[in-house]
Structure 1
Amino acid sequence: MKRDFQAPGRSPVFAREAAAATSHPLATSTALEVLQDGGNAVDAAIAAVAVQCVVEPHMTGIGGDCFAIVTEPDGRLTGFNGSGAAPRAATPEKLAELGVEDITDTSAHAVTVPGAVRAWETLHKAHGSTEFGKLFKRAIQYAREGFPVAPRVANDWANNVEKLASDPVSTARYLIDGNAPAIGTILKYPHLAATLEAIAADGADAFYSGPIASDIVEALQSRGGLMTEDDLAACHTTAVSPVMRDYKGHTVAELPPNGQGIIALVMLGILEKFDLENLDPMGPERFHLQMEATRLAYAVRDRFVTDPGYMDVCHSGLIASDYLDRLAAEVSVNKRMASLPQSSLSPQTDTVYLTVVDKDGLAVSFINSLFSDFGSGIVAQDSGVLLHCRGRAFKAQAGHANSIDGGKRPLHTIIPAMVLKDGNPWLSFGVMGGQYQACGHAHLLTNIIDYGMDVQAAIDFPRMFMDLDTHELQAEKLIPPSTLDGLKALGHQVTPAKGAIGGSQAIMIDKARGLLTAGSDPRKDGHAAGY
């Protein structure tokens, strides 16, 4: 599709040597600096996300989790699951004894072991080339010397004042006289800078043992949590083989459970049964099929997907052709399906996604998250570590696929992805936005593969999702009224989205032409660049 230059928008970035796309300009510039200093894509990604942990503190942090896919120039893929587990003492019986019926965002029980820092180190040992400690240079600088608050960051911060004000440490660290910082405010985080310096000097062990670990445990146990220093010390990252499925001549690679990446493959497997490419990309028929596939796929997710050690089905069966045929047969092009099982997860929207491709063709698809804006809102007093709330995905009661258990990893929404074409890396991409991410992967790929959009146009294109309990559709405001009316005629309830849906970054790799095409989402403070 050709861009309309009279319409607001941005062009994709074209580069020959290397490219990076993140949700913050300071992170992207850091990635390029590492690349130009001789580092590779993995080095650049780690340096960039460390910066994001400082300058986008509501979206990500060293107190969160991480997943990544690394693709070699010859198409070999390796996945990394950097999600942490529940404390060993966290069982349904123990929570019942404590009177906990629901694990809320701000509960200490929502804090699973943060896996990000261990994942960064593991990823670096496997694929990095620059000294690990040097990758924290800019993050430490911004934390100690200050950084300006970007527009989207300020907007989201203002929406979370009540959450931050509920805890004295988060109030002191993240509010200014009880208010969120305004756009352009210069912020400094000396406690976090010291923690980053310790990680740079001594590696991940500095985070998972010693004073930082003690500080994290004290913060949680003083709020009734069950985390111990032994739980932190046991944190490990798992190398995994991506799950792959063809979509119209393209091999789409996602990480296996406990993440929801396989649900994007379920959606694509349903959608390929329909003549999507001949439908108007902005028309009601396209969005109807996409949202019906979303409803089916997310019901599958909530029934089956969890820590693979607890799944009662083989995950490969969820993308088997006969199973997808049965799911697709439930979809009518003429009307909305009857009600489906309700979701058991709340709609969280916090995460950062970034991607980097270097001069040698090494590509990394990388995602890091606190799960909810500012995670649990719990900040460790001395280390400045803001802790995530990924355990919110657990059920406190036994008998559910995602019932909490000691040492169990929760269902994860954050999912990096990679696409191969003719066996070669073709697209490194990901979508932010919590529960939306699997749906967002399918939306982005159909924009590119079925409708021929470039990566930036595919990212910019209006989005739709649904309320996970009522299945009411939520539409971004640039979707025209005629499309919304058409969806209502098919039986859908439609309402305006409360805000922008998700965010995305992508880099397309044209090996034959020696060309990289990068895009970043204007819904964030996104920035793609290359050289």
Structure 2
Amino acid sequence: MKRRTFLASVPLAAAGLALDGGALAAPRPKAKAQPKPAPEIVPGSGTIDRPDVHGGDRPTGASWASRSAAFGLSGAAGTAHPLATLAGIDILKAGGSAVDAAIAINACLGFLEPTACGIGGDAYAMLWDPKLGKVVGIAGSGRSPRNLSLETVRSRARADGTIPSHGAVSVSVPGAVDCWWTLHQRYGKLKWADLFEPAIAHAEHGAPVAPVVAEYLYRGVKAIKRTDRGVEENANAIATYAPGGEAPRPGEIFRNPDLARTYRMIAKGGRDAFYEGEIARTIDAYFKRIGGWMDRADLAAHRSNWSEPFATDYRGTTVHAIGENTQGLATLQMLNMLERFDMKAAGFQSARSIHLQAEAKRLAYEDRARHYADPAAVRVPEQWLVSKAYAAERAKLIRPDRINRSVRPGNAPSHGDTTYFTVADRDGMMVSFIQSNFRGMGSGLVADGLGFMFQDRGQLFALEDGHPNIYAPGKRPFQTIIPGFATRGGQPWMSFGVMGGDMQPQGQVQIIVNTVDHGLDIQAAGDSPRWHHEGSSERMGEDTEDSDGPIGLLRLERGVPDATRKALANMGWKLGESDGGFGRYQCIEARSSGGRRVYAGASEMRADGVALAY
């Protein structure tokens, strides 16, 4: 693999071409003499907040869709950043598998979208294995430090009894790199080192910061700078993500040479470079220096594991989910309940439809908070939770015309901030991949000279005695990140996901309802206005502190019709403003035309990304 393969993805600045005032710059007209010259307007710098203004009229398809899906015969990729999508397409065109492209994409996003992901975090994936003819899952989730006791964690807890989102007490072993390596050992076609060339080029030469990434970088750096966040040190994070003291603005060129150097070590030494070599030694020394707990032994002991996904049938579509220590079961629980209702007859974006979905969410999330945990550490009643029989019992608690004022978790039988992308290749492999540092870019901690932030996933441990998700040394915390996959007739149909904490199962369900019940194409299904329910009687670490009572808060995007809003309010729902917390989505659909496979790719209009196919 030659570096020139990726020159199309590298910014002009990397090639030494002037972006302003140089040979490529357009001549500027002479300004007219004015006593008071008008201030210069920078294109893209303004924000017009007009909820009554909608997008232009499309000649076909859903009126609210932002664009058409991208179609191709040989491969497709959808990510949260255009340069990452281009890198994935380049890998596919060079003969790489969908897994090769996924690794290259994730490495790029660790630099391009550090607000959502990076090698300091965990990763999960589901993929269609065309040779096995089935969906395969992998869990790359790290464990808590073995030298960190429950007593110490409790002594660092916040006033509300939860673990802080910043600082060494929230750090668990990063699982992403080992997940990449494990996938590549089974499914890779290109050389391991080749997969890091695009990311290294971007990190060394720099790339313009995308608008949504810039917004979250600003927020993340602002949070890290606060002295009351419990971060043992923040100088490394500020130097990495806010060179000069301030986070880069949209369009500014950002570099991360430390990350490029780290990627070079991983490219040369494989996963061992990260978990046992120079990177591991640097991490060990860093946490000793700041008084943290993770060490080389924790890193060396980490391994990803292949995980058999759970599945449920929803009106002829089989929806798959990883169980493990994730919230993937919630998607299946919600769909099992909704299957008991005629969602098509309920109407698209109607009050009845949103009410039924939100009530199913409330019931499923009670179980999520009470039962979901690391199945390697405790007995989780997974089969019971996703059973049709249990769903039938829970569905009886949903009243189509009113809110259930008191929802509780079921009694189990006795015995216990994120990026998503998807890739498909010419052989029929489809990869659904999700990777995250969790809330607010992560823990706020960046090891000396490595250029990436450690995740704060440990925040999601419970601290109450008897809870299956209670903190313990060497245990995996509850995870919110979940890839999505759907098959039809035993063949792959959709590789998809919706990012964003507790929004992920809610968003996945909305995509399935939009496509299966209402027949929307994959782009319109993602562009449709979304709802997001917050709060429940049983809380997890990432839930909002103010749940607005037992019913919680139902947030609606502005595109939800006014009549629907009024009807939901009349039912008793407390409605919240649109706050940007509705997740971000990518999807690849496999179709058939004349006996040939056709891929369709869709991307999220709420983020900076793009889907491409060829």
TM score, norm. by length of structure 2: 0.83
Question: In the aligned structure 2, how far is the partner of 1:409 from the partner of 1:326?
Answer: 31
Structure 2 stretches of 5 or more lacking a match? 1-57, 227-233, 410-416, 536-546
Q: Relative to 1, partners in 2 of residues 1:313 and 1:203: Cα closer, same or farther, differing over 3 Å?
A: closer
Question: In the aligned structure 1, how far is the partner of 2:64 from the partner of 2:364?
Answer: 34
Question: In the aligned structure 2, how far is the partner of 1:222 from the partner of 1:475?
Answer: 46
SS at match of 1:195: helix
1:447 matched to 2:514? The reply is yes
SS at match of 1:310: coil
1:32 matched to 2:68? The reply is no
1:22 matched to 2:89? The reply is no
1:112 matched to 2:193? The reply is no
| Residues 208, 252 of structure 2: 8 Å contact kept | yes
**Among the aligned pairs, what percent are the same residue?**
38
Question: In the aligned structure 2, how far is the partner of 1:130 from the partner of 1:211?
Answer: 25
1:231 matched to 2:312? The reply is no
Q: Deviations over 1:303-346 (max 9, x none)?
A: 1011012344421110112111111000000101113359xxxx
Question: In the aligned structure 2, how far is the partner of 1:223 from the partner of 1:481?
Answer: 53
Q: Which residue of 2 aligns with 1:78?
A: 136
**Alignment equivalent of 1:161, drawn from 202, 221, 227:** 221
| Residues 23, 525 of structure 1: 8 Å contact kept | yes
- Post-superposition shift, 1:90? 2.7
Question: In the aligned structure 2, how far is the partner of 1:122 from the partner of 1:464?
Answer: 36
Question: In the aligned structure 1, how far is the partner of 2:280 from the partner of 2:565?
Answer: 51
Map 1:425-436; keep pairs closer than 5 Å.
425-436=492-503
1:53 is matched by which residue type in structure 2?
A: G
- Post-superposition shift, 1:9? 1.3
SS at match of 1:204: helix
1:104 is matched by which residue type in structure 2?
A: P
| Residues 90, 404 of structure 1: 8 Å contact kept | no
Question: In the aligned structure 2, how far is the partner of 1:303 from the partner of 1:8?
Answer: 38
1:73 is matched by which residue type in structure 2?
A: P
| Residues 257, 315 of structure 1: 8 Å contact kept | no
1:519 matched to 2:602? The reply is yes
Q: Relative to 1, partners in 2 of residues 1:448 and 1:120: Cα closer, same or farther, differing over 3 Å?
A: same
Q: Deviations over 1:15-74 (max 9, x none)?
A: 111111111101100000000000010100110110000000111001000001121236
1:504 matched to 2:585? The reply is yes
1:461 matched to 2:519? The reply is no
Q: Which residue of 1 aligns with 2:358?
A: 291
Question: In the aligned structure 1, how far is the partner of 2:359 from the partner of 2:400?
Answer: 9
Question: In the aligned structure 1, how far is the partner of 2:316 from the partner of 2:64?
Answer: 32
- Post-superposition shift, 1:218? 3.3
Q: Which residue of 2 aligns with 1:346?
A: none
Map 1:31-180; keep pairs closer than 5 Å.
31-73=88-130, 75-96=133-154, 102-166=162-226, 167-180=234-247
Q: Deviations over 1:158-177 (max 9, x none)?
A: 22232232411111111143
Map 1:109-508; keep pairs closer than 5 Å.
109-166=169-226, 167-340=234-407, 350-468=417-535, 469-470=547-548, 471-508=552-589
SS at match of 1:379: coil
| Residues 156, 164 of structure 2: 8 Å contact kept | no
CA RMSD of aligned residues (A): 1.8
| Residues 143, 188 of structure 1: 8 Å contact kept | yes
Q: Relative to 1, partners in 2 of residues 1:161 and 1:341: Cα closer, same or farther, differing over 3 Å?
A: farther
Question: In the aligned structure 2, how far is the partner of 1:81 from the partner of 1:7?
Answer: 36
- Post-superposition shift, 1:188? 1.0
Q: Relative to 1, partners in 2 of residues 1:228 and 1:252: Cα closer, same or farther, differing over 3 Å?
A: same
SS at match of 2:84: helix
Question: In the aligned structure 2, how far is the partner of 1:219 from the partner of 1:181?
Answer: 26
| Residues 256, 262 of structure 1: 8 Å contact kept | yes
Question: In the aligned structure 2, how far is the partner of 1:378 from the partner of 1:165?
Answer: 12
SS at match of 2:126: strand
Question: In the aligned structure 1, how far is the partner of 2:581 from the partner of 2:380?
Answer: 35
SS at match of 2:580: coil
Q: Deviations over 1:279-303 (max 9, x none)?
A: 2211111100010011011111111
Question: In the aligned structure 2, how far is the partner of 1:98 from the partner of 1:182?
Answer: 35
SS at match of 1:498: coil
2:135 is matched by which residue type in structure 1?
A: L
| Residues 252, 419 of structure 1: 8 Å contact kept | yes
SS at match of 2:502: helix
Question: In the aligned structure 2, how far is the partner of 1:56 from the partner of 1:220?
Answer: 25
| Residues 254, 262 of structure 1: 8 Å contact kept | yes
Question: In the aligned structure 1, how far is the partner of 2:157 from the partner of 2:306?
Answer: 37
- How many aligned residue pairs are there? 524
| Residues 461, 470 of structure 2: 8 Å contact kept | yes
- If asked which structure has higher relative contact order (CA below 8 Å, sep 6+), I would say 1
- Post-superposition shift, 1:436? 0.6
Greater shift, 261-270 or 9-18, is seen at 9-18
1:467 is matched by which residue type in structure 2?
A: E
| Residues 82, 237 of structure 1: 8 Å contact kept | yes
Structure 1 stretches of 5 or more lacking a match? 343-349
TM score, norm. by length of structure 1: 0.95
Q: Deviations over 1:68-97 (max 9, x none)?
A: 112123631211000101111233234346
- Post-superposition shift, 1:269? 0.2
Question: In the aligned structure 2, how far is the partner of 1:304 from the partner of 1:171?
Answer: 38
